[in-house]
Amino acid sequence: MKKLSILFLSLFLTLNIFAVEQIYVGAPKAPPVLPVLRMMETNALGKEYKIDVKVWNSPEILIAMVQGKEAQFFAFPLTVVSKLYNKGLDVKLMNVNTWGVASLISTNSSIKDWKDLKGKTIYMGIKSSPPDVFTHYFLSKAGLKEKEDYNVVYSNKAEHTNFIVSGKADYAVTIEPDTTTILTKNQKFKVVISFEKEWQKLKGDKSHIPTAGFGVLGELAEKNPALVKKFNEEYAKALQWVLENPEEAGKLAEKKLGMDGKIVTKAISNMGLNFVQAKDAKKTLDEYYQILKEYDPKTIGGKVPDENLYFNK
């Protein structure tokens, strides 16, 4: 009996030595997730961690995932992470990785400016995302008011793309790789307004509009900053790999998330992927959040987030 107990104890200790901790990443089928797929493929965090993706396709699902701690790391629209932080949720922003990825597309080639959208219905994907907020902002700067001068129709990510491709919309705000998907499948659509160019007109420089980044639950950042730092470093390497290997990245997206690999490959050069640590992007983000606060404080949760939003290890 004693020998049997020793055997079970030895087996237990052996299993625990080789125990693998599950790491979940909450992300949409959008540019920020691509480096994570590379990290999964290469065991970037080491053999003791296994990375998997939990897909979200609406801000409601993302918020529920954060509140329920269903993942440790999240791809955040920058407007949403500010709202969550300002509402008291314990989240930290690790990096900004996606810049200027949105476009207004239309079957109407006469659209040259936001004021040309008077009387139109615009189809939109993720509500409260930076493309959504900046659409209203740019329209407001052009003197147009929602429900009086234009309307917006929302749908989840998959429905949004399919609806537009089918020709049921004439005006839509899209992000990559959805823009490339739509323009490939329905050639009546063209990019009529680039959000990047609109941002540069607004700022009077050649800067890029920050759109999305990766964040982490604050308790993990506090308990295991080395893991969070490692994730951030490996994410930066994986993002560079995606840029240098678009065909392989497309195949990974198809293999792991069922995305159209050829479309992803084609879209990568337009995805605005560029890694900047959040602490290094703070000055840019302060300006970004201040612009949105002056437009409508609700878009960022009431105020420009303070330095405690930023992971700084």
Q: What is the DSSP string of 130-151?
A: HHHHHHHHHHHHTT--BTTTBE
Tell me the pTM. Answer: 0.87
Look at residue 12 and tell me whether its pLDDT is greater than 60.
no
Domain map (residue ranges) of the chain:
21-100+209-309, 102-203
pLDDT tens digits for range 131-140: 999 999 999 9
Q: What is the mean pLDDT of residues 210-220?
A: 97
Task: Assess contact for 92 and 221: CB atoms under 8 A.
Answer: yes
Per-residue tokens: 269: 């050069």
Q: What is the mean pLDDT of residues 188-202?
A: 93
CATH for 21-100+209-309 is: 3.40.190.10
Give the pLDDT band of residue 159 (cuts 50, 70, 90): confident
Task: Assess contact for 105 and 172: CB atoms under 8 A.
Answer: yes
Q: Which residue has the tokens 């330095």?
A: 307
**Which helix (H) or strand (E) segment is 20 a member of?**
none
pLDDT at 1 (0 to 100): 54
CATH for 102-203 is: 3.40.190.10
pLDDT at 253 (0 to 100): 97
**Identical fold, 21-100+209-309 and 102-203:** yes
**Which residue, 217, 126, 139, 135, is CA-closest to 178?**
126
* Residues 105, 267: Cα–Cα separation, whole Å: 15
